Amino acid sequence: MKGCESVSNVVPSLITALVVLWLSMGVCRSQLSTDFYANSCPAVFRVVRRQLFSALRNDTRMAASLLRLHFHDCFVNGCDGSVLLDGSDSEKLALPNRNSARGFDVIDTIKTAVENACNATVSCADILTIAARDSVYLSGGPYWNVLLGRRDGLVANQTGANDLPSPFDSIDTIIDKFVAVGLNTTDVVSLSGGHTIGRARCVTFSGRLYDFSEDSSVDPTLDPSMATELQTLCPQSGGDGNATAPLDRNSNYAFDNHYFKNLLEEKGLLSSDQGLFSSDEGQAATKALVQAYSNSSSLFFRDFVNSMIKMGNISPLTSSAGEIRRNCRVVN
């Protein structure tokens, strides 16, 4: 009987511990809210929008750069602003970001303006989240209420940044990387639709233009006329690989579903883009969504918003974790 009594005492204790853990997780999640700064910094949205509008007026491509920066932040250590940190282990120096990640100066400018309005209140991670949303909206895309309340991380993770989803990855590998951070196949396709704005360097797609395989010098899933144009832009020898081409041919600065229409015509720029429709893995997992989004911008916008909210919820630091950086490039 004593053995039974001891077990009966342990079980309620275990249940209590599990309930406490579950509640604490719920509290952590609930600390992200759309009105987090309603009292402490009610002007934050207006300040960010004003500075971002000025930046886009000078460089329309900056919208895509800030959206990409948010993506690269959230996939490494969660959405904690770690991509903004300088230093020897900076994520900026990782291969996916080196010579290609942009927008750091814009975030600095926005942060300064926000600090002037509300000192030591709004995190760099939240500023990047708002800037990414507004970049989409000001490019003609959907608007959504962003969840806020993230705090800034104290360390960068260059190793993690070197394992970001890559344009050279297979579709299955990309899906696996999304699943590892709590996202799914729908998120893969909808967030890839962010490539409806922006540009990519020759180095990210030139492998499709020359010596592609034993059977074909050019990727057979790349439209021939487009391949010829890209070969002119990105010569096999003599180029530095840094010339850029639009990710969404003929609709470079408008956030729309034209990107998906291009994939149906084999006009996706990156292998990972066209692979969503044309690869064997894509045919099995992602092709149907590509077709659906190409037919319905409203469906694409709806799923994109849901995926952005999910991505923004990857491992946020809240409560007393992390800090509110005064300078997004360095810890306090």
**Tens of pLDDT, residues 249-277:** 999 999 999 999 999 999 999 999 999 99
**Whether the Cβ atoms of residue 187 and residue 310 lie closer than 8 Å to each other:** yes
Total count of residues recorded for the chain: 332
Identify any residues that bridge with 244 across adjacent strands, giving them in sequence order: 201
Here the contacts of 160-163 (C-beta below 8 Å, separation 24 or greater) are 160/75, 160/76, 160/77, 160/91, 161/72, 161/76, 161/83, 161/91, 161/94, 161/96, 161/97, 162/94, 162/95, 162/96
Residue 239 — pLDDT band, cuts 50, 70, 90? confident
Residue 234 — pLDDT band, cuts 50, 70, 90? very high
Mean pLDDT of 128-141: 98
Task: State the average pLDDT for the chain.
Answer: 92
**Whether the Cβ atoms of residue 322 and residue 153 lie closer than 8 Å to each other:** yes
- Given the residues 70, 72, 195, 258, select the one marked as catalytic: 72
- Residue 16 in this model has a pLDDT that exceeds 60: no
- Residue 196 in this model has a pLDDT that exceeds 90: yes
Mean pLDDT of 119-146: 98
Alpha-carbon gap, residue 21 to 107, rounded angstroms:
36
Structure tokens at 248: 């969404």
Q: 4-35 burial string, b = 16+ CB within 10 Å, else e?
A: eeeeeeeeeeeeeeeeeeeeeeeeeeebbeee
Query: What's residue 31's pLDDT?
Result: 83
Query: What's residue 240's pLDDT?
Result: 78
Name residue, tokens 């309620």. Answer: 12
Q: Which of 208, 187, 139, 220 is nearest to 308 (CA)?
A: 187
Neighbours of 64 (CB within 10 A): 27
Please indicate whether residue 258 is annotated as part of the active site: no
Please write the tens of the pLDDT for every residue from 143-195.
999 999 999 999 999 999 999 999 999 999 999 999 999 999 999 999 999 99
Please write the tens of the pLDDT for every residue from 19-59.
444 444 444 444 899 999 999 999 999 999 999 999 999 99
Query: What's residue 22's pLDDT?
Result: 43
Q: Which of 188, 89, 194 is nearest to 133 (CA)?
A: 194
Please write the tens of the pLDDT for every residue from 53-97.
999 999 999 999 999 999 999 999 999 999 999 999 999 999 999
Query: What's residue 5's pLDDT?
Result: 44
- Residue 15 in this model has a pLDDT that exceeds 60: no
Please write the tens of the pLDDT for every residue from 207-222.
999 999 988 999 999 9
Query: What's residue 220's pLDDT?
Result: 97
Query: What's residue 89's pLDDT?
Result: 93
What does the CA dihedral 282, 285, 287, 289 come to, rounded to 10 degrees? -140
Q: Provide the 3-class DSSP secondary structure of residue 175.
A: helix
Cα 18 from chain centroid?
33
Q: Which of 184, 223, 210, 137 is nearest to 303 (CA)?
A: 184
What does the CA dihedral 93, 98, 99, 105 come to, rounded to 10 degrees? -60
Q: Provide the 3-class DSSP secondary structure of residue 31.
A: coil
* Percent of the chain as helix, strand, coil, to the nearest 5: 55, 5, 40
Q: Give one word for 140, left, alpha or beta, with left for phi > 0 and alpha for psi -120 to 50.
A: left
**Whether the Cβ atoms of residue 47 and residue 105 lie closer than 8 Å to each other:** no
Query: What's residue 19's pLDDT?
Result: 43
Alpha-carbon gap, residue 158 to 59, rounded angstroms:
28
Query: What's residue 242's pLDDT?
Result: 87
